[in-house]
């Protein structure tokens, strides 16, 4: 026969990591972290699990694992909505209506405490979107408005810093579609990774390189940030002055923003702490408070200094005395050094006495864990709103009047006042794999609108497309998760705010 | 019953069994559509079992004809390539299943009762039927994992094309090449499926450092590709490299056009497209959307 040739049969290669799926007669061998040929069943750490795309949140009495174990226990969701158990259909994996402005993929009705509710779920394509990143660190990440890059491409900028945190604004339509193709692609990938709680390395022009991952400590120039400062240097003096009184003669709390000096500070004066003849570098603001003792950086208290003595001038010999005890500490307690003045009034580093190391530990304890927070921010455009109602602007009004609740993968959102439906959501409150993208490039994010059935009809909803929750239960293509324990239940009437008042 | 059939909004039918997902739609009178859907359902139920019976034979290059109807179509579709390259009937499985279900719809009816149009979409590999005077407009995507149209093509009843298939490393099956997507128009979906695999494999830059390749068996121990290196990632390429890779694929595509195995092909890599077609206009590319409204 033409084309025929003997060849060896490719026998399945035995692989001790692989498991054999028996969900269908194909009997795939599946390696860890991979899915079978159906893309429905996967090997998660040796366990066969279902990875169906459409996510339904369960509001169960007990909190269990996120993935539904396959052919295991009675846990597998069979679509039975039993009393005491509610299901909320998210938009994750629901599909989108673009580009043929038709009703949203799923418009689900359900009864909640006797009230007919409707949830419209759709995956929005957001070309106007981005993330706001809050990085808990006093380390200087880079000057305000400077460009933030990923893989060398501009993906955003440094924006105004907040208390104890540096803020980045990433994405947006200008980086996504306004620049080069590569800039758009890298921006889209960066946003997607951040939203999916994956680590992303970002570099600030003229600043630091930081690894950001939602809900985890930031890593600044290779240094893992542990704690947020409890207050600025001056505030720290105020908080701890009493605990230091009598145990040390002088304390300097080093801070890039305001460095505090105990003996000159109002708090020290009130306690009667005598002048020590200390002379600080930098610009004095009010007594005991100094700006710019050094340049911003990633060392002591968000400055660039490694040697704390470098911010001190020689002590005033008329006021200082030999054996004077000096504690220098950063605002987070991570850096500290203890000195005593010698005969020539020069500080000599000595071991930190126990009483003082306790107070340093106290500072540290009062500094909360430093985290990176990632908020996805997007605006629901006209065509997305048209999938909900025939008269898109009424949806905006309904959201404004709190008749309609907006959720993102079941997570609560903050909707900005003013026009449109522009919202922010904490990505750590959302299920995994909630986001996607299209090559525009633009991000795909789930969005759900929940409202009373009557209100839905009143705003021109697609009533003929409303289907019952039960109509979904026969389908095999759903992923069933337990709701995030900290999220308000999206269907809960108590969260209906104005509508019920 | 393992196989599932579900009516989707808009009057489409969704078939699911193991790794097979089909979207079926027939057009005509209500009665015609009912008949079509019943015929398709009856045929679908046993398809996966038939294939699995001969699975090991179908996972090796063509040596002996299999027995099943779908398996024979797969075998026939890859036979023209087996002399020159490694290919197994599995390369045409999706298209062959689509063809078979379509045949069940059309073959069970008198000409008068046939639907005016019908299609069976098996994950992008599509078999379709057109009564005289009818046409289908088909959207083309350049990334199988991201549904976004880069153009459309219309197939008219007077043309011979009744099958369309897409292959590329981003798709569900492994590829030896780096094409994001190769879409092929041919007489049957099985033929289009096999050819798309061959052309997508040919869009390549051998030994290029930006391309990550992994032995197929490391990813799926039972892959018919065994230890062959399949593409897992493609890094940034220069415009010249993109052009070189696409040309390599286009040469193969034109050869298949001249052998009469396919009607035309669209090759995509990193946003660039090449059309291989016997005459200008055979694939009428529409303009991509300017921008996606949010």
Answer yes or no: are the C-beta atoms of A322 and A343 closer than 8 Å: yes
pLDDT at B243: 94
At B16, the pLDDT band (50, 70, 90 cuts) reads: confident
Answer whether residue A408 shows pLDDT above 50. yes
Q: Which chain B positions have a beta carbon within 8 Å of A26's beta carbon?
A: 18-19, 48, 52, 55
Q: Determine contact: B61 vs chain A, CB below 8 A.
A: yes
Answer whether residue B176 shows pLDDT above 90. yes
pLDDT at A478: 59
pLDDT at A222: 87
pLDDT at A470: 66
Residue linked to tokens 């027939």: B26
Of B55, B60, B223, the CB nearest to A7: B60
Quote the CA–CA distance of A83 and A237 in Å, as a whole number: 57
Alpha-carbon torsion angle B61, B65, B70, B74, nearest 10 = 30
State the DSSP code for A493: G
Locate the DSSP E strands across A163-263.
165-171, 200-204, 209-212, 219-220, 223-224, 250-254, 259-261
pLDDT at A68: 28
CB contact under 8 A, A439 and B148: yes
Q: Which of A20-24, A431-435, B72-76 has the highest mean pLDDT?
A: B72-76
CB contact under 8 A, A99 and B289: yes
Answer yes or no: are the C-beta atoms of A338 and A318 closer than 8 Å: no
Mean pLDDT of A457-485: 70
B251 phi, psi to nearest 5 deg:
-60, -45
Q: SS3 string of B168-205?
A: CCCCCCCCCCCCCEEEEEECCHHHHHHHHHHHHHHCCC
Angstrom CA distances, B31 to A482, B6, B15, B35, B118, stand at 43, 18, 20, 6, 14
Q: Which chain A positions have a beta carbon within 8 Å of B93's beta carbon?
A: none
CB contact under 8 A, A438 and B146: yes
pLDDT at B289: 36
Which residues on neighbouring strands pair with residue A261, listed in sequence order? A252
Cis peptide preceding A441, ω within 30 of 0: yes
Of A13, A379, A465, the CB nearest to B294: A379
Answer yes or no: are the C-beta atoms of A463 and A457 closer than 8 Å: yes
Angstrom CA distances, A137 to A236, A260, A426, stand at 16, 19, 19
Give B65 or A57, the one with higher predicted confidence: B65
> Tens digit of pLDDT for each residue in A10-65?
444 456 778 888 778 888 888 888 888 877 778 877 877 766 545 555 543 223 22
* DSSP H stretches of helix in A412-473: 453-458
Answer yes or no: are the C-beta atoms of B79 and A3 closer than 8 Å: yes
pLDDT at A64: 29
Q: What is the DSSP string of B127-147?
A: EEEE-TT-EEEEEEES-TTS-
At A409, the pLDDT band (50, 70, 90 cuts) reads: confident
pLDDT at A106: 62
B234 contacts: CB under 8 Å, gap ≥ 6:
B169, B178, B210, B211, B212, B270
Indicate the SS3 state at residue B116: coil
Mean pLDDT of A272-279: 94
Mean pLDDT of A219-237: 86
Average pLDDT, chain A: 80
CA distance B234 to chain A (A): 14
Answer whether residue A314 shows pLDDT above 90. yes
Answer whether residue A80 shows pLDDT above 80. no
> Tens digit of pLDDT for each residue in A137-160?
878 899 999 999 999 999 999 999
Average pLDDT, chain B: 86
Q: Which chain A positions have a beta carbon within 8 Å of B219's beta carbon?
A: 31, 34
Give A85 or B33, the one with higher predicted confidence: B33
Of A15, A23, A380, the CB nearest to B221: A15
CB contact under 8 A, B9 and A465: yes
Answer whether residue A77 shows pLDDT above 80. no
Q: Determine contact: B287 vs chain A, CB below 8 A.
A: no
pLDDT at A493: 55
A122 contacts: CB under 8 Å, gap ≥ 6:
A91, A94, A95, A96, A97, A104, A105, A106, A384, A387, A388, A446, A447
At B149, the pLDDT band (50, 70, 90 cuts) reads: low
pLDDT at B108: 66
* Percentage with pLDDT > 70 across chain B: 88
Mean pLDDT of A332-349: 94
Instruction: Give the Cβ contact number of residue A59 at 10 Å.
Output: 17
Q: Which of A216-225, A323-332, A455-464 has the lowest mean pLDDT?
A: A455-464
Instruction: Give the Cβ contact number of residue A497 at 10 Å.
Output: 11
CA distance A438 to chain B (A): 6
Of A5, A29, A181, the CB nearest to B221: A29
Q: What would you report as the CA-atom Rg of chain B, rounded to the nearest whole angstrom?
A: 19
Residue linked to tokens 């008329």: A318
pLDDT at A57: 56
Q: Which chain A positions have a beta carbon within 8 Å of B2's beta carbon?
A: 24
- Label the pairing between strands B229-234 and B211-215: antiparallel
CB contact under 8 A, B222 and A124: no
Q: Determine contact: B63 vs chain A, CB below 8 A.
A: yes
Quote the CA–CA distance of B129 and B189 in Å, as a whole number: 11
Domain ranges of chain A: 19-51, 86-127+381-500, 129-224, 233-365
Q: Which of A386-390, A443-447, B83-87, B182-186 has the lowest mean pLDDT?
A: A386-390
Provide CATH code, domain B4-276: 3.10.520.10
Indicate the SS3 state at residue B48: helix
Answer yes or no: are the C-beta atoms of A171 and A190 closer than 8 Å: yes
Residues 68-127 of B with CB under 8 A from A: 79-83
- Label the pairing between strands A283-284 and B229-234: unpaired
Which residues on neighbouring strands pair with residue A29, listed in sequence order? A20
Quote the CA–CA distance of A101 and A387 in Å, as a whole number: 6
* Percentage with pLDDT > 90 across chain A: 39
Angstrom CA distances, A144 to A131, A376, A465, B222, stand at 17, 21, 49, 54
Predicted ipTM? 0.82
Among A13, A42, A377, most B C-beta atoms within 10 A, so best to mutate, is A13
pLDDT at A81: 29
CA A482, A488, A492 angle in degrees (round to 5)?
95
Answer yes or no: are the C-beta atoms of A403 and A451 closer than 8 Å: yes
Alpha-carbon torsion angle A187, A189, A191, A194, nearest 10 = -140
Mean pLDDT of B199-227: 92
Quote the CA–CA distance of B230 and A476 in Å, as a whole number: 30
- Label the pairing between strands A325-330 and A250-254: parallel
């Amino acid at each position: 026969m033409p084309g025929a040739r003997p060849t060896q049969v490719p026998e399945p290669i035995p692989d001790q990591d692989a498991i054999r799926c028996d969900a269908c007669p194909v009997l795939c061998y599946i390696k860890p972290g991979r899915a079978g040929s159906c893309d429905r069943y996967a090997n998660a750490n040796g366990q066969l699990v279902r990875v169906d795309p459409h996510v339904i949140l369960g509001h169960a009495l007990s909190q269990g694992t996120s993935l539904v174990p396959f052919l295991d226990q009675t846990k597998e969701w069979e679509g039975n909505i039993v009393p005491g158990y509610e299901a909320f259909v998210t938009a994750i994996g629901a599909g989108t209506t673009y580009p043929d402005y038709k009703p949203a993929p799923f418009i689900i009705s359900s009864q909640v405490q006797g009230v007919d509710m409707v949830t419209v779920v759709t995956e929005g394509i957001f070309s106007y979107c981005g993330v706001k990143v809050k990085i808990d660190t006093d380390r200087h990440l880079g000057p305000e408005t400077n460009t933030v890059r990923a893989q060398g491409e501009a993906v955003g900028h440094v924006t105004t810093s907040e208390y104890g945190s540096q803020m980045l604004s990433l994405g947006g339509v200008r980086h996504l579609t306004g620049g080069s193709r590569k800039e758009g692609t890298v921006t889209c990938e960066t946003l997607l990774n951040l939203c999916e709680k994956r680590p992303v390395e970002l570099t600030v022009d003229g600043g630091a390189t930081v690894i950001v991952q939602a809900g985890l400590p930031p890593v600044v120039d290779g240094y893992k940030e542990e704690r947020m400062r409890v207050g600025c240097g001056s505030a720290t003096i105020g908080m701890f002055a009493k605990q230091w009184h009598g145990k040390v003669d002088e304390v300097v709390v080093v801070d890039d923003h305001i460095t505090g000096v105990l003996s000159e500070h109002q708090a020290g004066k009130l306690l009667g702490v005598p002048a020590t003849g200390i002379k600080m570098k930098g610009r004095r603001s009010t007594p005991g408070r100094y700006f710019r003792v050094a340049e911003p950086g990633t060392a002591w208290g968000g400055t660039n200094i490694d040697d704390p003595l470098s911010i001190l001038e020689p002590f005033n010999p008329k006021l200082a005395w030999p054996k004077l005890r000096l504690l220098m500490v950063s605002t987070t307690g991570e850096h500290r050094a203890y000195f005593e003045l010698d005969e020539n009034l020069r500080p000599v580093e000595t071991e930190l006495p126990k009483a003082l190391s306790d107070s340093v530990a106290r500072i540290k304890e009062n500094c909360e864990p430093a985290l990176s927070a990632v908020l996805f921010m997007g605006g629901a455009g006209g065509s997305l709103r048209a999938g909900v109602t025939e008269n898109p602007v009424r949806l905006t009004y309904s959201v404004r009047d709190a008749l309609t609740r907006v959720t993102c993968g079941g997570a609560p959102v903050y909707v900005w006042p003013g026009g449109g439906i522009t919202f922010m959501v904490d990505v750590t409150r959302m299920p995994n794999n909630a986001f996607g993208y299209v090559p525009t490039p633009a991000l795909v994010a789930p969005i759900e609108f929940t409202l009373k059935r009557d209100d839905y009809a009143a705003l021109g909803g697609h009533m003929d497309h409303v289907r019952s929750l039960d109509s979904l239960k026969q389908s095999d293509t759903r992923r069933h998760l337990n709701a995030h324990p900290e999220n308000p239940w999206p269907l809960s009437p108590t969260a209906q705010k104005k509508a019920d008042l | 019953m393992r196989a599932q059939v579900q009516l989707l909004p808009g009057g489409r039918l969704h078939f699911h069994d193991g790794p097979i997902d089909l979207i079926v739609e027939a057009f005509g009178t209500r009665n015609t559509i009912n008949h079509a859907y019943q015929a398709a359902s009856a045929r679908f139920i046993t398809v996966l079992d038939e294939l699995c019976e001969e699975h090991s034979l179908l996972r090796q290059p063509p040596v002996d004809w299999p027995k099943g109807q779908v398996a024979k179509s797969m075998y026939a579709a890859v036979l023209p390539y087996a002399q020159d390259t490694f290919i197994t009937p599995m390369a045409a499985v999706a298209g062959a299943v689509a063809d078979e279900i379509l045949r069940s719809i059309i073959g069970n009816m008198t000409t008068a009762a046939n639907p005016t149009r019908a299609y069976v979409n098996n994950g992008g590999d599509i078999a379709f039927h057109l009564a005289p005077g009818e046409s289908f407009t088909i959207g083309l995507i350049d990334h199988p994992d991201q549904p976004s149209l880069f153009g459309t093509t219309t197939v008219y009843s007077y043309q011979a094309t009744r099958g369309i298939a897409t292959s590329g490393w981003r798709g569900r099956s492994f590829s030896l090449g780096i094409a994001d997507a190769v879409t092929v128009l041919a007489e049957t979906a099985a033929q289009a499926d096999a050819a798309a695999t061959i052309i997508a494999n040919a869009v390549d830059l051998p030994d290029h450092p930006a391309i990550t390749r992994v032995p197929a068996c490391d990813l799926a121990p039972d892959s018919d590709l065994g230890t062959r290196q399949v593409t897992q990632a493609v890094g940034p390429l220069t415009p010249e490299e993109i052009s070189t890779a696409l040309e390599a694929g286009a040469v193969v595509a034109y050869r298949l056009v001249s052998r009469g195995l396919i009607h035309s092909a669209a090759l995509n890599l990193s946003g660039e497209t090449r059309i291989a077609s016997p005459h200008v206009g055979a694939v009428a590319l529409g303009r991509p959307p300017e921008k996606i409204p949010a």
